[in-house]
Amino acid sequence: MKRVLALALISTFVIAACGGGASASPSPAASSAAATTTAPAAPAVKVGLVTDVGGLNDKSFNSLANQGRLDAEKDFKVTTSVTESKKQEDYVPNLTNYAQQSYDLVIGVGFLMTNSVWKVAKQFPNVKFAIIDGAPANDKGDTENLPNVANLFFKEQEAGYLVGVIAATMANDKVGKATHNTLCAMGGIPIPPVDRYIAGYQDAIKTIDPSATILNGYSNDFVDQAKGKEVGLNHISKNCDILFQVAGGSGLGYIKAATEKGVYAIGVDADQADVAPGTVITSALKRVNKAVYDTVKAVQGKAFKAGDNFFSAANDGVGYGKLDPVVPANAKAAADKALADIKSGKITPKDQLQVK
Amino acid sequence: MRQPTAQWAQGPLIPVISVLVALLLGALFVLLSGNDPIAAYVALVRGAFGSPYDVTETLVTAIPLTLAGLSVAVAFRTGLFNIGAQGQLLVGALAAGAVGARFGDLPAILLLPMTVAAGVLAGAGYGAIAGWLKATRGVNEVITTIMLNYTVVFVMHWLLQNGPMTARNAFGTPASARIGDGAILPIIIPNELVPLSRLHAGLLLAIVAVVVFWFLLWRTSLGYELRAVGLGPRAAAQAGIDPARRMVLVMAIAGGFAGLAGMIQVSGVFHRVFDGFSAGFGFDAIAVALLGKNSPIGITLAAILFGAFQRGGTIMQSDANISSHLVEIVEAIVLFVIAAETIVRALAKRRGTPAEAL
């Protein structure tokens, strides 16, 4: 007992001593909404980012949005801050916190926040909001656009189409381990952004390699890797050679299954080539960072556009990622041609699943 | 037989010390990561209690934590480990969401009690399963309650993702239908007093539950029997109390408290069931029960403290740029120190009374 008290006292002294020193050093450039920022002319624009329960280290969605925030902070000299949500109850208070501190732009990262952003945006009409992958939804469950909310949508089907072209070309030519002409995908939860990726993927396969067998599955989770791996092993046992993951953290397990069985995988949202070199042949890119970056730029330039904003191939909002050396030149050429055709409008990838 | 007040008086010293030690060690972590611990804790406190709005936010989190804490504690008192508060909470939420929506047109005077009953009874039933398995087959309740947590999570996926409880909506995330207005727990702080407050009538239900907990355990013969079973099952059996039947009953009561927590999250906060909502309450509840020494006041204070940590943690992130994980570290250290005390006490007991087993 006495020892605990003694230890506590000593710690207090140590911390008091160090604490004095630490506060003298410059605090990180990012937030501190209490401190006024320098800007002589107009006050610096303040941008807040609220992540969903996936957390900042999901290697895709949230981390991309955060990257966009950091890039914008550097390039536009705005003040930014990020808050991670731990449970769904946290969305409203986290968004409200930034709004109460008169932030200029508050970004909700994800489809889970559509109702929460609607609630808070209605209460703070002078604050601008943005939702990634969603539009505000009222309590009845209906979409209700608001004049201070930008809905940042992506045409995921275009990214899915591009990686589908690569996968189908390899399957057609029986490149490397892709010998069974069977391709598959796994989503997290069957929500529209996930299904759009897979729909584009399936569309490309049916166009280029109509004889291919297509498999589809869901892990029902965006975090649990074990569930993703299980689905992956199941698909591989049915001869699938190329596994396209659309399941965030859970999808990393899907990729693990591919690594274990020596076949190929395709990453999603961010470039996931480094997740499993030699296994991940490419990734379907969703430039969430660009969406965040562009929206901050718009707010700063007073060009904020409420309502639906689309990020697609046309404005480099989607694309395909780094190609593994095993990907042959003709697959890359086909993907580049498809990208050009999508940009010109010649190809419009389907956004509805054909194989459920 | 000890009176609750005597136990309580012994109680707060160790929990308070464990919180202080945890805060100190947390400050060390903040320092090591190159940030200012004073700024961090100032932000934490201001986030939890700085303004009336902040206080209401702390309470909104403390309410389900208190109920889940009571759930864990009532089982602990009987010597059982209810690790299933999370699952029982979700079962209660599903039942409340279903009843609230299905009978949505009924007036509040009928619908609200129905919804409360649905949440409590569903949670109780779910808790009773683990109690029954233990009583009849001796299956360890730690295992069954943990597994049952997973079971309800998967059932929820099925119910809410293109299943029987799914409602078409534009949320972009699986959810059930909205409950009727009569099932909603209204916001109890007028907007003029505290704008934007989310504090709902669940607060009153939680207070009632705490009183019920106290009354049940210290003012009824059933409560006496439950505590006797907890202090010494063999002695209790010799006194004519049947531990097996008591186990089912106590797990049902525990499930009822947790089910009420789930119902409150649906009726007071979300007004429908979202897949994956209210994560973590059941597990934080174990810490709350331990910190509160399974006593009604202790649990209430511990729940408010954890609510303060979580609410303050938000402001700490946005104002002082501290990682959200610091709050988790502090909470974990609190648990650590409490566990250490429990172990020390158990060891001392063993050395002191060799003929402990009666």
**What pLDDT, in 10s, does the model give residues B276-317?**
888 889 889 999 999 899 999 999 999 999 999 999 988 888
Tokens 């990453």: give the residue.
A267
Contact state of A97 with B178 under an 8 Å Cβ cutoff? no
Query: A203: which residues sit within 8 A by CB, 6+ positions away?
Result: A157, A160, A161, A164, A349, A350, A354
Q: Output DSSP code: residue B269.
A: I
B217 found inside a domain:
yes
The residue in chain B having the minimum alpha-carbon distance to the alpha carbon of residue A100 is B196
* Residue B24 counted as domain residue: no
Name the A residues in 12-41 with CB < 8 Å from any B CB. Answer: 12, 15, 18-19, 22-23, 25, 27-28, 30-34
The first and second tokens of residue A324, run together, are 């593994």
Cα-Cα-Cα-Cα dihedral sign, residues B264, B268, B273, B279 = negative
Please check whether residue A139 is in contact with residue A159, taking contact to mean a CB–CB distance below 8 angstroms.
no
Task: For residue A269, give the DSSP letter.
Answer: E
Q: What are phi and psi of B279, to 5 degrees?
A: -70, 140
Residue-wise pLDDT tens for chain B (358 aa)? 544 444 444 567 778 888 888 888 888 988 888 888 899 889 999 999 999 999 999 999 999 999 999 999 999 998 899 999 999 999 999 999 999 999 999 999 999 999 999 999 999 999 999 999 999 998 999 999 999 999 999 999 889 987 899 888 777 778 899 999 999 999 998 888 888 899 999 999 999 999 999 999 999 998 988 888 777 777 777 777 777 788 899 999 999 999 999 999 999 999 999 988 888 898 899 999 998 999 999 999 999 999 999 999 888 888 888 888 888 888 888 878 877 877 777 777 777 644 443 3
Cα(B332)–Cα(B257) distance, rounded to whole angstroms?
Answer: 24
Instruction: State residue A43's pLDDT score.
Output: 66
Structure tokens at B55: 């206080």
The residue type at A278: G
Asked whether the beta carbons of residue A111 and residue B171 sit closer than 8 angstroms, the reply is yes
Q: Which residues does chain B have within 8 Å of residue A15's beta carbon, measured at their own beta carbons?
A: 24, 27-28, 31, 37
Q: Which ranges in A32-135 belong to alpha helices (H)?
A: 61-76, 91-100, 114-123
- So what's the pLDDT on residue A156? 95
What would the two tokens of residue B236 be? 């209790």
Nearest-angstrom CA–CA distance, A356 and B257: 41
B307 neighbourhood in chain A, CB within 8 Å: none
Distance from CA of B106 to the nearest CA of A (A): 18
CA B309/CA B326 separation, integer angstroms = 10
Let me know if residue B238 belongs to a domain.
yes
Domain A156-285+318-344 has CATH 3.40.50.2300: yes
Backbone torsions φ then ψ of A50, nearest 5 degrees: -115, 120
- Enumerate residue ranges in chain A where pLDDT < 70: 1-43, 59
Cβ atoms of A269 and A60 within 8 Å: the answer is: yes
Q: Given an 8 Å threshold on Cβ–Cβ distance, is B172 in contact with A134?
A: yes
DSSP B81-93: --TTHHHHHHHHH
Per-residue confidence (pLDDT) for residue B48, from 0 to 100 = 93
Mapping DSSP to helix (H, G, I), strand (E, B) and coil, where does residue A354 land? coil
Q: Given this model, what pLDDT does residue A18 score? A: 43
**Cβ distance of B36 and A98 shorter than 8 Å:** no
Write down the pLDDT at residue B13. 79
- Helix B52-77 and helix B243-264: axis angle, to 10°? 160
Identify residue B105 by its one-letter amino acid code: D
What is the reported pTM? 0.82
Q: At what angle do helices B141-160 and B85-102 cross, to 10 degrees?
A: 30
Chain B residues with beta carbon closer than 8 angstroms to that of A27 = 35-36, 39, 321
Which residues are A152's β-sheet partners? A132, A309
| Closest alpha carbon to A283 in A160, A176, A175, A191 | A160
- On chain A, the residues whose CB falls within 8 A of the CB of B276 are 53, 88
CA distance B126 to chain A (A): 23
Enumerate residues 6+ apart whose C-beta is below 8 A from B97. Answer: B165, B176, B177, B179, B266, B272, B273
Q: Are B196 and A96 in contact (CB < 8 Å)?
A: yes
- Compute the distance between CA of residue A351 and CA of residue A286 in angstroms, rounded to an integer: 15
Chain A neighbors of B20, CB-CB under 8 A: 8
Task: For residue A28, list chain B residues with Cβ-Cβ distance below 8 A.
Answer: 35, 321
The continuous run of DSSP H or E covering B57 comes out as helix B52-77
- Domain range for B160 is 67-187+199-310
Handedness of CA B73, B74, B77, B78 (dihedral sign): negative
* Contact map slice: A 139-178 vs B, CB within 8 A: 139-143
Q: How many domains does chain B divide into?
A: 1
Residues of chain A within CATH 3.40.50.2300 domain(s) are 46-155+291-297, 156-285+318-344
Distance from CA of A142 to the nearest CA of B (A): 5
Cα(B337)–Cα(A258) distance, integer angstroms: 43
Phi, psi for residue B17 in degrees, rounded to 5:
-60, -40
Using CA coordinates, name the residue in chain B closest to A16.
B38
Cα–Cα distance measured from residue A6 to residue A213, given in angstroms and rounded to the nearest whole number: 70
In a domain, B274, yes or no: yes
Q: Compute the distance between CA of residue B294 and CA of residue B226 in angstroms, rounded to an integer.
A: 13
CA distances from B72 to A304, B133, B282, B299, B338 (A): 50, 18, 8, 10, 16
Asked, for residue B351, whether it belongs to a domain, the answer is no
Out of B157, B170, B265, closest to residue A137 by CB: B170
Asked if A28's CB is within 8 angstroms of B317's CB, the reply is no
| B248 assigned to some structural domain | yes
A46-155+291-297 belongs to which homologous superfamily? Response regulator (3.40.50.2300)
Question: What does the pLDDT read at residue A9?
Answer: 53
Pairing of strands A182-187, A242-246: parallel
Nearest to A219 by CA among A262, A251, A259, A184: A251
Contact B318 A98 (CB under 8 A): yes
Pair type for strands A318-320 and A280-286: antiparallel
Residues across chain B? 358
Q: Roughly how many angstroms between the first and final C-alpha of chain B, as a whole number?
A: 17
Tokens of A107: 């970004």
- Can you name the residues that pair with A49 across neighbouring β-strands? A82, A107
User: Cβ of B279 and A139 within 8 Å?
Assistant: no
What pLDDT score was predicted for residue A245? 96
Q: Residue B324 is nearest to which of A12, A27, A86, comparing CB atoms?
A: A86
